[in-house]
Amino acid sequence: MNIAVVGAGYVGLTLAAVLADFGHKVWVVRKDKEKNEGLKKGKIHFFEPDLEDLVKKNLKTGRLIPTTEYSQAIPFSQVIFIAVGTPSLSSGAVDLSQVFEAAKEIGKNLSLEYTVVVNKSTCPPGTTRKVARIIEKFKPKKANFDVVFCPEFLREGSAVENTKRPDRVVIGVESPKAAKIIKELHKQFKVPILLTKIESAELIKYAANSYLALRIVFANQIADLCEKSGADIEEVIKGMGTDKRIGLHYWYPGMGYGGSCFPKDVAAIADFAKKKKITGSIFAVVDKLNKKRISQIIKKLESNFGSFVNKKVGVLGLACKQGTDDIRESPAIKIIELLKKKRAKIIAYDPMAVENAKKVLSGVTFAKNSYEVTKDADCLLILTDWPEFGRLDYAKIKKLMRGNFVFDSRNILAKEKIKKLGYNYLGVGR
C-alpha cells in the first residue's frame, strides 16, 4: 500500500518507519529542510531506542521516502496519516494550527479517486470533522475521501515497540469503506481492533492519558501522607496493587508527571471540560496539583537540607524519564531552574539529554559522567529514573562528595543500604 505520513516527530517518524518495515511504501512529509536532508542520510533529530536502525534499514530498501513536498507524497497515497504536533496554548487549550495546515495541504494535493485520511494528532473531540471540512474545501472535485481518527498510545523510550505491538488499535470511523481499509492496514499488528465513533476515539486518547496522570498525582498524595504518618509508599503500593481491581503497574511517586504528552493532554481536557461547562472538573484539579508539585519538592529539600545559597548541587538526570533525551516539561529542568534562583551552583549529568538541556539551561555546568557530578558536591539529587544511577558505587561517591545529603526522587536506591554508608537519605513517601 502507498502511505503518506505528515509529521516526523516521535509519532510520525516511528509510525512511518514501522509501516515501511511492514512492507508498505511510505512517504514521510516534514517542513524542516535541514532535518529532512539529515533523515535522508538516516539521521533522526531525537533519541529513541531502535528507531534510527529501523529508519536506515527502510531507507536502504526504498520503502521509506523523506520529503518536504506534499506534492511528492499525497497524490499517490491511498492512506494519509496526520501526525503533527498539537502543543498547548497559554490557556491550556490545544493549538491545532499544524493539524489544520496539514489538512489544507492534503486537500490541495489529493488526486486519487478515493483516499482515507487518518488523523493521529491528539486533539479534542470535533477536530477530525473540522479536518474533513478543510479537506473538502480545498480538494479537487474528482477526489473523494473519508476521515478517520486513530490515536497513538506510544511511550517515549519504547516508541518502536509500542507502535509495532500496541495494546489495541482504536479506529474512530463512520465510513464502512474506510473502516475496512484501515482495519486491513492494521492486521499486521495482530492486536485487538476497536471501532468507535470519531468523537469517542478522540476522547479515548485524552481519557487514557488523564487517567495515567491521575495515578501519578494520586501516588504523590499518598506518598505525602506516608511521610506524615511514618508509612512507606513502597509497602502501600504493594498493598494496593495486589488488589486485582487496581494492579501493581503504573505507580510512580516522585516529582509529578512531565514530558510531551501528559501536561498538555490533561490541560487540554480540562480546558475542553470548561468549554463544555462541566463544573468541578477532576482534570483541572489534577493539572493544578501536578503544577504545585515542584515547589512542594523544593520546600521539602530546604526543610531537610537547608539553604542552597552557594552550595554545590550535583544533579543526576535531566530527561523527563529514562530511555529518552526529551526534556519537555521535565521536572528535573524545573527543579534546576528553581535552585538556580536560590543561588545554588549546579553540575548535572544525563546519559542522553545533556545536549538538549544545554539549549534551555544557562549557568549550569554539565559533567561527562555521574561520578564527575558528585565531586565536592554538598548534596546529590537523583531526578530521573535511569537504571544506571541505581547501579553506581555509592561508597565511592560518599568519598567524592563534600556533603552527605542525597535526594532520591524516584526511590531507585536501597534506602537502608545507603543510610548505612553514612548518607542523609531522602526519598519520596519513605
Residues carrying an active site annotation: 261
- Amino acid letter at 2? N
3-class DSSP state for residue 327?
A: coil
Q: Strands 79-82 and 64-67: what pairing?
A: unpaired
Q: Which of 351, 256, 317 shows the shortest CA–CA distance to 49?
A: 351
Name every residue whose Cβ is closer than 8 Å to that of residue 361 and which is 6 or more positions away in sequence. 333, 336, 337, 348
Distance between CA atoms of 285 and 265, rounded to whole angstroms? 14
3-class DSSP state for residue 365?
A: strand
- Amino acid letter at 298? I
Instruction: Kindly state the cell numbers that stand for 153.
Output: 498510545
Measured N-to-C along each axis, helices 331-341 and 282-305 cross at an angle, to the nearest 10 degrees, of: 50
DSSP per-residue letters across 79-135: EEEE----PBPTTS-B--HHHHHHHHHHHHH--SSEEEEEE-S---TTHHHHHHHHH
Length of the chain in terms of residues written: 430
Tell me 240's DSSP state: H
- For residue 66, give the H/E element and its range: strand 64-67
Distance between CA atoms of 95 and 332, rounded to whole angstroms? 25
